[in-house]
Chains A and B, each alone.
Chain A
Amino acid sequence: MTHYLLYPGCSMESSAIAYYDSLMAIRETLGLELEEIHDWNCCGATEYLGINLIPAYTLISRNLALAAQQTNGTRTVVAPCSACYLNLAKANHFMLERPILGVRVNEALAAGGLHYDPGSLQIRHLLDVIINDIGLDAVKSKVVRPLKGLRVAPYLGCMVPRPDYDHRWSNPEYPNELDRLLKALGAEVIDFPLKTHCCGGHMTQIGPATAYELIRRLVHAADQYHADLMVTLCPMCQLNVDAYQGETNKHFKTNYHMPIVFFTQLMGLAFGKDPVELGFGKEFVDTRPALAKIGVEVPPPPAGETPTPPKPKRAKKEGLPMPRMSGEEEEVSS
């Protein structure tokens, strides 16, 4: 069954509208039925939990209570935004673990005539649903324009794989789900060492220098690996790396040009959708040079070349054999 309740979250309506548009564009191809929770509200992002616990959990749980009223044959809420996903999962988890918290939150919810039984809904991230419910074979079967020749850096950020309340990810420190999905689309996926590192979050507002350094690390590493673009599943990460790349370049006197897009946008491209429908063109760091590599129709690339830094040392074909990784063989054979 691929019917879910959708909690889009605020960024999907504004800064990450490309994420929303591309998700809407591919959902039919994937057979995903997404039913938006009526009258949902902000999840409180990362800040509110630091200020006052009960109101913060109540703010989150209002969405769960609304979703619980709306269960048309599904008890699974899907959140594409990592902060939203983490907050919903966190509230669900801690209200179950600490019953008194659930009682307090429900007292507050009662004022609005709402109630939520902790643990009664499953909170899952969009990527988890695509990998584990729809499956990579189904995804592969829909690919009409393989992303052959596109080097991508999979970047998850810190909030989706950790703390992994329900043990859904292959490894919370170094998950491989996004890598596998992008490989299924035909892209050349680099082993991105910073895939779960921090993008700086809201430090861009509080201490920009800290955020710039964190952004620089990400962009620098992706650049070192000659990635054409970074791929993320987090609106916050996308915003920071995209919108603050110019500031970061200014701050460090560098000249990085590393576009970052949502994985749903690349899925859309692989499924043969129109790039404009998928929200391409809304980003600050131009994706056109990268998309040109896979023959996606775009205007001629803008002038200005970036110097190629030296290639980092990696395993060579000759020499001693590398240890075999589990799962590698099946991918070769399929």
Chain B
Amino acid sequence: MTAQQENKERIGVYVCHCGTNIAGTVDVASVRDWAAGRLKDRGVVLARDYKFMCSSLGQELIEKDIKEHGLTRVVVAACSPHLHENTFRTACARAGLNPYLCELASIREQVSWVHTDKAAATAKAKAVLSGAVERVIHNEPLEPLHVPIHEATLVVGGGIAGIQAALEIADAGFPVYLVEREPSIGGHMSQFDKTFPTLDCSACILTPKMVSAGTHPKITLMTWSEVVKVDGYVGNFTVTIKKQARYVTTELCTGCGICQEKCPKKVIDEVYEAGLGYRKAVYIPFPQAVPKFPVIDRPNCTFFQKGTCRACEKLCPTGAIDFNQKDEFVTVEVGNIILATGYDLFDARRIPQYGYGRLANVYTNLEFERLSNAAGPTNGNIVLRDGKTAPKAVGVIHCVGSRDRNYNNYCSAICCMQSLKFAHIVRERTGAQVYNFYIDMRTPAKAYDEFYQRVLEEGTLFVRGRVAEVTDAARLPGEEGKLIIQVEDTLVGKQRRIPVDMVVLSAGMEPRHDAKDVAKLFGISCSSDGWVIEKHPKLDPVATMTEGVFVVGCAQGPKDIPATVAQGAAASARVLGRIQQKEIALEPVRANINQDQCSGCRICNNLCPYNAILFHEDRMVSEVNPALCQGCGTCVAACPAGAISGTGFSDEQILSQIEGLLLLNIDGRKAEVPEAVPA
């Protein structure tokens, strides 16, 4: 019924070739002629095709037609609206047409790229176009909503990605809240000994940045803290942060470390020392920690568990220990959020045939970083688990848990270079023979392959093949007391058994164990692997589909330090751009409740994922707050009275589009269909 209404609109149709992307599968000229002819009585006054509609010439064509032919509606049959809706809407706006009167028909992603039969694809392109024409008739001119932007930014995660992002924004003069779960910022990078390929000391390049972040007047550092709640929308987020009780009064603490020294309770440090060293129940994770204040690990503290001890309290020279501290909840207002939550290491115990956890001298890469770190548990001496014997032969196994369909299909990106670094360090410090077991060497970035050449020349031996097992079951002479690496050397085509003293497993990166919960908290999505999905993998790698929420570093996928730092800076540039604009235009695609039709049943109130619907007790009706509404349409579908309509997605628009898709709009074919379509 809607499709057959009297239509006075003057519609221009533009069919894009997209080079051969569309024209290769769809007969573009035929679509154009069909639209000009068969859709003429639906208001199409002209139809054109063009090689690249998105080019400036293509856009000018639309602008010229709007002015010369008095077009009141525009339909562009081209790519997905994700890509170029904005381009064509802007072109219309330049010609004086309200941008929301322009509609895109996706005949690339949904037609030419997914079909091979040209005739069928052409027919489908016509149907999709016809749907867009019917829909655009019912489009209404809309005005975007302008809201002010809060100039503060929340950075979640204090690794190198978060530190970089926070510093860039703070240096530009805007406030930043940097939230970190651990007692100190620094992240994984603070655990490393050297960084490839330059072999810079990791701490030497990281510590200055940590100190800057800790002392910057514009950065509010919140360590030992976690974000627990996020409300609001781009420009105006309200974030609740849980500050765990440190049991140390930071105003009084000087960071002298006496508490840590005197604490009688020794605990294996699973985080900073990767399980290879010890810390106390009250501890500063590492000497360069920022902030320098210790925390008391409540589950391990003798006082909290048994009620006696208080050694730290008695011996603290400034009386800074306070066992009565409580967790604190802080609420902050921010305009943008940058997630830099990092990665977890693949748990090598999941591949028991590699022996980690069973065989003493099988180490993970993170353990080896601590082992080789001068500030680590062995002062940088590379030794077996007995704590004193230097290895004579070391095997480094690449791709542990990566590129393996049993665990993770993806490449963890850093392990090849990291394994080469290990080979170099072992040779330099111990002179041991080093074997690297790889599937493919991946050394693509600047100066990486040169480093590989260097390690080759140093005499490290490379065996190409996935290791079958690491065992201590000696079989041949010379294997007694060794770890034997059984591997198929695929370059030679034979099985090898290589006895070594130490095995280092280059375990891959995995999303944080709670990545999905974090994504839910911030209203973004993860891929099936668990990495955060970016807005566009190539052209918008640090934004997410949720406006105002950005993702940087390994939370988005495995990457090395240079790429992580670049992303931190990139996201802050995006945020700064936003802040400078002072306000942001929100898409006017919003739900709207017809107050006369609303029965006050409140079904929509609880369904709204953005808490955008308020209920007026006095009038017993619900109302949508347009600034909070994201236009998801949940309430529209749920309303039993049909009282809610989505601006830009009205029933009229959708039903007309369906009729157009089914070609019910042509030649009076409507008459053949029984009048069962609901209003």
Contacts and interface: CB of A to CB of B under 8 A. Distances in A.
Interface of A: 171, 173-174, 191, 193-194, 217, 220-221, 224, 310, 312-316, 318-326
A310 B386 CA distance: 18
Contacts, number: 74
B173 interface: no
A320 B349 contact: no
Nearest to B356: A323
B546 interface: no
A310 B474 CA distance: 12
B302 interface: no
Interface in B448-501: 469, 471-475, 480-481
B349 to A, nearest CB: 6
Max count, chain B CB within 10 A of own CB: residue among A220, A313, A314, A326: A313
B388 A319 contact: yes
Contact of A315 (B352, B367, B385): B385
A233 to B, nearest CB: 18
Max count, chain B CB within 10 A of own CB: residue among A194, A313, A323: A323
13 contacts: A173-B351, A194-B471, A217-B473, A220-B475, A310-B481, A314-B360, A315-B360, A316-B360, A319-B387, A320-B387, A322-B385, A324-B357, A326-B349
B178 to A, nearest CB: 31
Interface string B352-376: 1101111010001001000000000
B207 interface: no
B268 interface: yes
A221 B360 CA distance: 17
Contact of A321 (B268, B364, B471): B268
Contact of B353 (A173, A191, A320, A326): A173
B514 to A, nearest CB: 18
A322 B481 contact: no
Contact of A319 (B353, B364, B386): B386
A312 B378 CA distance: 24
B633 interface: no
Contacts of B481: 310, 312-313
A310 to B, nearest CB: 7
B388 A325 contact: no
B268 A193 contact: no
Given A174-B352, A321-B275, A325-B357, A193 B472 contact: yes
Contacts of A326: 349
A320 B388 contact: no
Main secondary structure of the interface of A (DSSP, over half): loop
B377 interface: yes
Given A319-B386, A323-B349, 19 more contacts: A173-B469, A220-B473, A220-B475, A221-B474, A310-B480, A310-B481, A314-B360, A314-B472, A316-B360, A319-B385, A319-B387, A320-B277, A320-B385, A320-B387, A322-B385, A323-B356, A323-B364, A324-B357, A325-B357
Contacts of B276: 320-321
Contacts of A321: 268, 275-278
A315 B475 CA distance: 20
Contact of B474 (A171, A312, A315, A324): A312
A322 B270 CA distance: 11
Nearest to A316: B386
A326 B358 CA distance: 12
Contacts of B351: 173
Contacts of B378: 320
A117 to B, nearest CB: 31
Contacts of B480: 310, 312
A323 B385 CA distance: 11
A175 to B, nearest CB: 8
Max count, chain B CB within 10 A of own CB: residue among A318, A322, A324: A322
Contacts of A312: 472, 474, 480-481
Nearest to B269: A321
Contacts of A193: 355, 471-473
A171 to B, nearest CB: 5
Given A310-B480, A318-B386, A320-B385, A220 B474 contact: yes
A161 to B, nearest CB: 11
What 5 A-B pairs are tightest by C-beta distance, nearest first?
Answer: A174-B352, A319-B387, A315-B360, A221-B473, A193-B473
A312 B388 CA distance: 17
A224 B385 contact: no
A316 B384 CA distance: 11
A322 B474 contact: no
Contact of B473 (A194, A323, A325): A194
A277 B474 CA distance: 37
A174 B386 contact: no
Nearest to B270: A324
Nearest to A213: B475
A193 B276 CA distance: 24
Contacts of B277: 320-321
B466 to A, nearest CB: 13
Contacts of B364: 323
A178 to B, nearest CB: 14
Given A171-B352, A312-B480, A322-B357, A217 B475 contact: yes
Contacts of A319: 384-388
B474 A224 contact: yes
B137 to A, nearest CB: 52
Given A315-B385, A318-B386, A319-B385, A325 B471 contact: no
Nearest to B275: A323
B370 to A, nearest CB: 10
Interface in B103-151: none
B385 to A, nearest CB: 5
A320 B269 CA distance: 12
A332 to B, nearest CB: 15
A146 to B, nearest CB: 24
A325 B358 CA distance: 8
A191 B377 contact: no
A312 B475 CA distance: 13
Contacts of A325: 349, 357-358
A64 B71 CA distance: 75
A322 B360 contact: yes
A44 B656 CA distance: 67
B519 to A, nearest CB: 26
A220 B384 CA distance: 25
Contacts of A224: 473-474
Contacts of A322: 357, 360, 385
A193 B29 CA distance: 70
B149 to A, nearest CB: 47
A108 to B, nearest CB: 36
A196 B12 CA distance: 72
A320 B349 CA distance: 18
B275 A324 contact: yes
A312 B499 CA distance: 14
A324 B356 CA distance: 10
A153 to B, nearest CB: 11
Nearest to B474: A224
B172 to A, nearest CB: 44
Nearest to B355: A193
A315 B385 CA distance: 7
A209 to B, nearest CB: 15
A221 B471 CA distance: 11
Contacts of B356: 323
B473 A174 contact: no
Contacts of A217: 473, 475
A191 B388 CA distance: 24
